[in-house]
């Protein structure tokens, strides 16, 4: 009997840990995941100009999306440079995304430009990363060696974010912005 109860408790804890890394309702689509922080992290994970602390590379404290923050639509203006590397030794894929009113302009060189501009208009804070709560648990599945860096502006706000597929929380963050990255990643 005790063994059965212990297994049930462990199953509930495991599911709760996975749920903590899953974006909000809608399965992680760019339009349904939200973030409410106004302090983006740098590509290297270093502190931001406002002086926030450097996130540690461990599961706790890594940058993530906040699934509970309110989403308000923006003007849909964006100028972004996106660099995706499929492995540490691979040549980077470089994209340019320029949006006006939520629609890609002719300067855009991006595989999913229309979806990316639409996602940024619906949620201009989508690329803003913030440190995870210290009690957040991220599952330790590995999604692959892919990395991505996004720099530029969205609705006049500077954006500088990095993404990787090193654990469940990072995989969920990548999936939330997959249209913007122009790549879903192997593990996302």
| Within a domain: 26 | yes
Q: 């229309």: which residue's tokens?
A: 114
Q: What is the pLDDT of residues 57-67, one digit of tens each?
A: 443 444 444 44
| Within a domain: 186 | no
Asked if residue 124 has pLDDT above 70, the reply is: yes
Q: What is the pLDDT of residue 129?
A: 86
> Residue 155 — very low, low, confident or very high, per pLDDT cuts 50/70/90?
very high
Nearest to 115 by CA among 15, 170, 184: 184
Q: What is the pLDDT of residues 68-102, one digit of tens each?
A: 444 578 899 999 999 999 999 999 999 999 999 99
| Within a domain: 35 | yes
Q: What is d(CA 152, CA 32) in angstroms, rounded to the nearest whole number?
A: 22
Lowest mean pLDDT among 11-25, 92-106, 147-161: 11-25
| Within a domain: 187 | no
**CB-based contacts of 69: which residues, under 8 Å, 6+ apart?**
34, 35, 36, 37, 125
For 100, phi then psi, to 5°, come to -135, 120
In Å, how far are 3, 68, 106 from 41, measured between CA atoms?
A: 44, 19, 29
| Within a domain: 49 | yes
| Within a domain: 85 | yes
What is the span of the domain harbouring residue 153? 2-181
Q: How many domains is the chain built from? A: 1
Residue 46: Cβ-neighbour burial (10 angstroms; 0-12, 13-18, 19+):
exposed
Name the average pLDDT for the chain: 73
| Within a domain: 158 | yes
């Amino acid at each position: 009997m005790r063994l059965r109860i212990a297994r049930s408790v462990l199953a509930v804890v495991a599911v709760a840990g996975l749920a903590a890394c899953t974006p909000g309702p809608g399965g992680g689509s760019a339009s349904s995941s939200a973030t409410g922080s106004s302090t983006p992290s740098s590509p290297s994970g270093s502190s931001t100009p406002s002086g926030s602390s450097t996130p540690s590379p461990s599961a706790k404290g890594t940058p993530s999306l906040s699934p509970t923050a309110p989403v308000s639509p923006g003007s849909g203006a964006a100028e972004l440079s996106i660099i995706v590397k499929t492995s540490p030794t691979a040549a980077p894929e470089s994209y340019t995304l320029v949006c006006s009113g939520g629609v890609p302009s002719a300067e855009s060189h991006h595989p999913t430009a229309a979806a990316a501009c639409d996602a940024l208009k619906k949620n201009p804070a989508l690329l803003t990363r913030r440190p995870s709560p210290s009690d957040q648990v991220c599952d330790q599945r590995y999604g692959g060696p892919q990395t991505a860096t996004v720099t530029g502006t969205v609705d006049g706000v500077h954006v500088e974010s990095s993404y990787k597929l090193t654990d469940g929380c990072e995989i969920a963050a990548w999936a939330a912005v997959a249209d913007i990255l122009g790549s879903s990643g192997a593990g996302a």
